[in-house]
């Protein structure tokens, strides 16, 4: 099968020739993997091919004006949504940390006036050609940040205020979410039109769990967040493509609603979180949802040996593969503290033991 056929067969809850494979990683481990394969640092396609990755994400570049000023003297970079980030170094690499939360105390009027990009400010002109380049791959539009309410609002208002906004239906917080998602929905519509059939799935996100429990109640999800997500799913259905939703932590409590809404696949699937083990997910939702993830970035891949990495990957495949519907992928970005040999073993195991015939 081609990668496209493999993923779409799996999303249809059927057996492909093998389990589809995906890759997400932080800069440090990504750099080491490219060095291992003798690739230059910007050869992303070369690394995908070396690891046998079936998915590609089509970009929609921002081409509009600079809406928010950076603060280089403080090391703060501000994007076109107004998110403030600062690079934080650690012993194995670094990450962009969200900081300052400029709308934390903003009232509804200030949120309404906050500069945000217009859908016209994005470049759709290269989408069709990029899809053609990847015509044998499964091309995704979006990522875990598309249609996300809690995390993305939290980047501007802080997590505490964001949760208060949801619990109290605070107008300022709800307006922020509605403005952002309205722009994203129109961007997604234009991108799908520009692709002219070349996009194979829509990837959305919403972190709904802690490690041990739901982050919010099911009633709150249904009253506030579900109505914001549904238009994205309806958009995908109008283009006859499946929807995959990313959610960190213990989030299987919302999967019945996802099924009702028309979601095809769920992503992340942290096995250490409550009610998120491969056994639990397969027994409760197998045959009704496709799965993408399950290989923990906080387990043996990061902290174990090669042998332990192989063992957990094999066990996950044995549980998730029967009757189809499973895509092999890390639960989050592979972390910089992951030994290169463990990550290589992870992907080698997927290709060796992930075949149906």
Average pLDDT over residues 187-214: 97
Name the β-bridge partners of 97.
86
The predicted model scores a pTM of: 0.97
Could you tell me the sign of the dihedral formed by the alpha carbons of 154, 112, 230, 78, in that order?
Answer: negative
Distance from C-alpha of 21 to C-alpha of 300, rounded to nearest angstrom? 18
Q: Residue 40: pLDDT above 90? A: yes
Element (H, E) at 199: none
Number of residues written out for the chain: 357
For 56, phi then psi, to 5°, come to -135, 150
Average pLDDT over residues 91-117: 96
Establish how many alpha carbons lie within 13 A of residue 128's alpha carbon, considering only the half-sphere containing its beta carbon: 7
pLDDT band with cut points at 50, 70 and 90 for residue 265: very high
Average pLDDT over residues 257-264: 98
Look at residues 320, 297, 318 and name the one whose alpha carbon lies nearest to residue 309. 297
Amino acid 18: pLDDT: 98
Q: Residue 20: pLDDT above 90? A: yes
pLDDT band with cut points at 50, 70 and 90 for residue 357: confident
Contact 76, 84 (CB under 8 A): yes
Architecture of 3-66+105-353 per CATH?
Answer: Alpha-Beta Barrel (3.20)
CB-count burial class (<10 Å; 0-12, 13-18, 19+) for 58: buried
Model pLDDT for residues 284-316, shown as the tens digit of each residue: 999 999 999 999 999 999 999 999 999 999 999
Element (H, E) at 203: strand 201-205
Tokens describing residue 90 = 């650690």
Look up tokens 């929609």; give the residue: 60
Amino acid 181: pLDDT: 98
Average pLDDT over residues 70-83: 97
Neighbouring residues of 319: CB distance < 8 A, sequence distance ≥ 6: 278, 279, 282
Question: What Cα–Cα distance (Å) separates residue 35 from each residue in 96, 134, 147, 340?
Answer: 23, 24, 35, 10
Look at residues 12, 29, 20 and name the one whose alpha carbon lies nearest to residue 332. 29
Distance from C-alpha of 88 to C-alpha of 76, rounded to nearest angstrom? 11
Instruction: Indicate the DSSP class of residue 335.
Output: P
For 157, phi then psi, to 5°, come to -115, -5
Amino acid 59: pLDDT: 96
Could you tell me the sign of the dihedral formed by the alpha carbons of 345, 210, 180, 116, in that order?
Answer: negative
Percent of the chain with pLDDT over 90: 99
Mean pLDDT of the chain: 97
Look at residues 52, 37, 211, 63 and name the one whose alpha carbon lies nearest to residue 127. 63
Question: What Cα–Cα distance (Å) separates residue 226 from each residue in 3, 19, 81, 138?
Answer: 31, 30, 23, 27
Look up tokens 């990313």; give the residue: 246
Percent of the chain with pLDDT over 70: 100
């Amino acid at each position: 099968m081609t990668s496209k056929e493999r993923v779409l067969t799996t999303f249809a809850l059927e057996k492909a020739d093998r389990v589809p494979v995906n890759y997400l990683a932080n800069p440090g481990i990504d750099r080491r993997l490219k060095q291992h394969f003798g690739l230059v640092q910007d050869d992303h396609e070369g690394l995908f091919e070396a690891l046998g990755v079936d998915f590609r994400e089509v970009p929609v570049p921002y081409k509009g004006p600079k809406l928010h000023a950076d603060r280089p003297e403080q090391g703060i970079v501000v994007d076109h949504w107004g998110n403030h980030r600062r690079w934080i170094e650690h012993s194995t690499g670094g990450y962009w940390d969200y900081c300052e939360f400029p709308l934390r105390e903003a009232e509804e009027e200030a949120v309404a006036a906050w500069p945000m990009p217009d859908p016209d400010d994005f470049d759709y002109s290269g989408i069709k050609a990029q899809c053609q380049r990847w015509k044998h791959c499964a091309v995704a539009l979006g990522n875990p940040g598309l249609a996300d309410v809690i995390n993305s609002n939290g980047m501007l208002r802080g997590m505490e205020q964001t949760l208060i906004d949801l619990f109290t239906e605070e107008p300022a917080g709800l307006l922020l979410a509605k403005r952002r998602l309205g722009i994203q929905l129109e961007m997604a519509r234009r991108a799908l039109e520009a692709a002219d059939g070349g996009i194979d799935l829509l990837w959305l996100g919403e972190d709904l769990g802690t490690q041990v429990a739901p982050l919010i109640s099911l009633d709150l999800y249904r009253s506030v967040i579900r109505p914001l997500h549904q238009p994205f799913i309806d958009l995908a259905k109008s283009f006859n493509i499946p929807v995959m939703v990313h959610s960190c932590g213990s989030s299987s409590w919302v999967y019945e609603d996802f099924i009702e809404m028309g979601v095809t696949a769920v992503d992340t699937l942290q096995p250490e979180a409550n009610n998120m083990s491969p056994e639990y997910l397969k027994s409760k939702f197998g045959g009704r949802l496709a799965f993408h993830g399950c290989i923990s970035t906080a387990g043996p891949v990061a902290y174990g040996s090669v042998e332990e990495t192989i063992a957990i990957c094999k066990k996950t495949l044995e549980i998730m593969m029967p009757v189809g519907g499973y895509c092999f992928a890390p639960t989050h970005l592979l972390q910089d503290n992951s030994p290169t040999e463990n990550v290589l073993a992870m992907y080698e195991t997927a290709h060796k033991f992930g075949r149906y015939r």
